[in-house]
Copies of this chain bind each other. A is one copy, B any other.
Amino acid sequence: MGESHIMRGVLAPVVTPFKTDLTPDKQRLIQHCRWLLSQDCGLAVFGTNSEGNSLTMDERFELLDALVEAGLDPKRMMPGTGCCSFLDSVDLSKRAVEHGCGGVLMLPPFYYKDVSDEGIYRNFAEVIERVGDDRLRIYLYHFPQMSAVPFSVDLVGRLLDKFPGIVVGMKDSSGDGANLEAIMKAFPAFAMFAGNEPLLLANMRFGGVGCISATANVNPAAIVGLFDSWENDDADAVQKGLNAVRGAVQQFPLIPAMKMMISHFRGDAEWNRLRPPLVELGEADANKLIADLDALDFEMPRLGD
């Protein structure tokens, strides 16, 4: 398996717009994805920030089909396909492979807690064997704060040994630079994406391949800028600038904050809607977020700019 099979760069866990009846707004999603690609930002649809697990399986199939049919490049897509039922993970991953997606981002099954490495291993083994396609590329989605089911270094090693070229990388959303470094040291060839851009530079220096960050939904060009120039002398200063924007956003619940930002900067109230159990930002929080972003001279490039 050559380098060319490995995804690199900056991806957005694409936020999902909803209509008033809370069905996914396909047209706005396609528009947003097209804009992200135009900023050289890849598409990690159906991630945490996409409210992916708040979508039914049918909705996920339908949206993935719609994005591909709209002519967006599947090689830049890394849909989330890790479900509680391994059979759902099989079906979604199969569809992603059939569409030629660059990879899939797989959560472990996340309902049962304190499960054994053996149990998680079996989940991935069943999925890989049942998808049964050499084109499958799995990026493990390590997000213990949300899934409450971590990947241990031992487990990662076992999956890499058993499924080389299929299990190829990880998104580490633990926010723990030490974990990221430990995994890169144990598996230097592993394609590691930092889970947010404040760890992008550190991750590149550890030998990583980029980041998949919520904030790439609203600040893609600047994050891609750092990815492109991380070996430059001013990289630390650029990282600092990204961190300031991120800091303003993550004062608030991240997903509502991003939807509010998109709504505000595009002048499109339709974006400011979430599925339960998430709720939109209150007015005071929204005002503070925008004021803080203004103070940083932040602007989100408009569609078509």
Interface set of A (CB-CB < 8 Å, partner B): 22, 48, 53-57, 59, 84-88, 108-113, 115-116, 118-120, 122-123, 126, 145-149, 275-279
Also in contact, A146 and B276, with CB within 8 A (given A85-B56, A87-B56): no
Also in contact, A109 and B276, with CB within 8 A (given A54-B84, A85-B56, A87-B56): yes
Main secondary structure of the interface of A (DSSP, over half): loop
Q: How far is the CA of A261 from the CA of B146 in the complex (A)?
A: 33
Contacts of A149 in B (CB 8 A): 277
A243 to chain B, nearest CB (A): 23
Contacts of A120 in B (CB 8 A): 276-277
Of A126, A147, A148, A276, which is in contact with the most chain B CB atoms at under 10 Å from its CB?
A: A276
| Cβ contact within 8 Å between B85 and A119 | no
Q: How far is the CA of A162 from the CA of B119 in the complex (A)?
A: 41
Q: How far is the CA of A45 from the CA of B242 in the complex (A)?
A: 49
From B54, B84, B87, B126, A86 is in contact (CB under 8 Å) with B54
Contacts of A22 in B (CB 8 A): 126
Also in contact, A277 and B108, with CB within 8 A (given A146-B113, A148-B148): yes
Question: What are 16 of the A-B contact pairs (CB < 8 Å)?
Answer: A22-B126, A53-B84, A53-B112, A54-B84, A54-B85, A55-B85, A56-B87, A56-B88, A57-B57, A111-B147, A112-B277, A115-B278, A119-B279, A120-B277, A122-B276, A123-B276
